[in-house]
Amino acid sequence: MSDGRTGPLPGGGAGGAGSDVHAVAAAAFEEVASAADLRVLDAVRARYLGRGDGLLTVFRKRIGSIPDAEARRALGQTVNALVERLTGAVDERRASLSDVGTDGASEAIDLSWPPPPLRRGHLHPVSRVFRDVRRIFGQLGYIAVEGPEVEYDRYNFTLVNMPPGHPSRDTQDTFFIDDDRVLRTHTSPVQIRSMLVRGAPQRVIVPGKVYRRDYDATHFPMFFQVEGICIDEGIALSDLKGTLEFFARSVYGADRSIRLRPHHFEFTEPSVELDVSCAMCGGKGCRLCKGSGWLEVAGAGMIHPHVLGNGGIDASRYSGFAFGIGIERIAMLAYGIEDGRLLYENDVRFVSQG
């Protein structure tokens, strides 16, 4: 442990021992101040203040052997004061080293340290499908319009042929805000709003969120629809079919076939559902299409004359069709997602897939 700065106590006068202890202490303060981390500081503390053979401790032990009482007392006071000051210096240094961690790094920022890799963001599958749908219908001259998500009962139900007491209201799993307002259960109320504002002819799509009290692999309490309406003189079911065919082939590929199945909606007459031939099996039947070879992607129909009238449009002159497309459904089919809840659970492992 000896570094040559401390010899044995000189046998002579106390003055010699006193100057020796000051030299040892001076070295100790210097080492404490320059200790680069806590490990080094602990070693310095042990070297000078260690219980058994610490360099200052040794002085203290030998004080008793000094014959002159006055010199003994003077050296005792000197050594005690130095031990106290050094202990304080060690504690202070320890506190400042603890602030910057044990690796001895200074508080300065190391600009050469490599940053974590940047992760490039991308669009959510639902956003991509929305963008595609807007583009596809944009090519056909449709404009996109929006409407309120908190909607009056009469727009959500009454004016689209679901008056109070109508049994179909029960199937809508509605979130009620109060007696007069709901979270819209479909984008159809915007049909009425658009008719009242724009009259005829018009071609609009209504992309937006809708709400139902429902949650499983294919149903969500909030989901996205695109409603579309086309109103003009002489619009027929064949126009609807052509439009949906263009849409389906744009989204799913030119080789896909479509079919319209009769269905029932309150606000269209006749009503149909749109099926697209299954991408997985090419129509032969598989798990995705439940063996049918077809996948259902939209509901549609000719706008009911009552609904045209509710929108202020002369149903004896104009006719029109409407369709509603489930965006999640398209995203699930396009990206092979089996459980649509993944779309909204924000699991980074899922949403970060390019």
Residues 211-250 that bind Zn ion (CB under 5 A): none
Question: Binding of Zn ion at residue 298 (CB under 5 A)?
Answer: no
| Cβ proximity of 290 and 211 under 8 Å | no
Separation CA 312–CA 308 (nearest Å): 6
Of 166 and 287, the one with the shorter C-beta distance to Zn ion is: 287
Q: Are 182 and 151 in contact (CB under 8 A)?
A: yes
Shortest distance in whole angstroms from residue 286 CB to Zn ion: 3
Cross-strand partners of 144: 205
159 contacts Zn ion (rule: CB under 5 A):
no
Judged by CB under 5 A, the residue of 46, 89, 286, 337 near Zn ion is: 286
Min separation Cβ 256 and Zn ion, Å: 12
Q: Using CB under 5 A as the criterion, what x/- string covers residues 14-53 for binding Zn ion?
A: ----------------------------------------
278 binds Zn ion per the rule CB under 5 A: yes
What residue has token string 């504002």? Answer: 197
Stretch of 10-18, 34-42, 152-160, 283-291 lying at the interface with Zn ion (CB under 5 A): 283-291
Of 38, 40, 49, 280, the one binding Zn ion by CB under 5 A: 280
265 touches 303 (CB < 8 A): no
The residue within the footprint of Zn ion, chosen from 289, 297, 302, 308 (CB under 5 A), is 289
Indicate the residue whose CB is closest to Zn ion.
Answer: 278
Candidates 72-80, 173-181, 248-256, 282-290 — which segment interacts with Zn ion by CB under 5 A? 282-290
- Neighbour-count burial for 154-174, b at 16+ CB within 10 Å, e otherwise: bbbbbbbbbeeeeeebeebeb
Q: DSSP letters of 79-141?
A: HHHHHHHHHHHHHHHHHHHHHT-TT---SS--TTSPPPPP------HHHHHHHHHHHHHHHTT
Q: How far apart are CA 34 and CA 31, in angstroms?
A: 5
* Structure tokens belonging to residue 32: 């404490």
146 versus 338: smaller Cβ distance to Zn ion: 338
| Nearest distance from C-beta of residue 290 to Zn ion, angstroms | 8
Minimum distance, C-beta of residue 199 to Zn ion, in the bound complex (Å): 43
From CA 204, how far away is CA 176, in angstroms rounded? Answer: 27
- 281 part of the interface to Zn ion, by CB under 5 A: yes
Q: How many residues bind Zn ion (CB under 5 A)?
A: 6
CB of 333 to Zn ion, least distance (A): 10
Please report, as ranges, the residues that interact with Zn ion according to CB under 5 A.
Answer: 278, 280-281, 286, 288-289
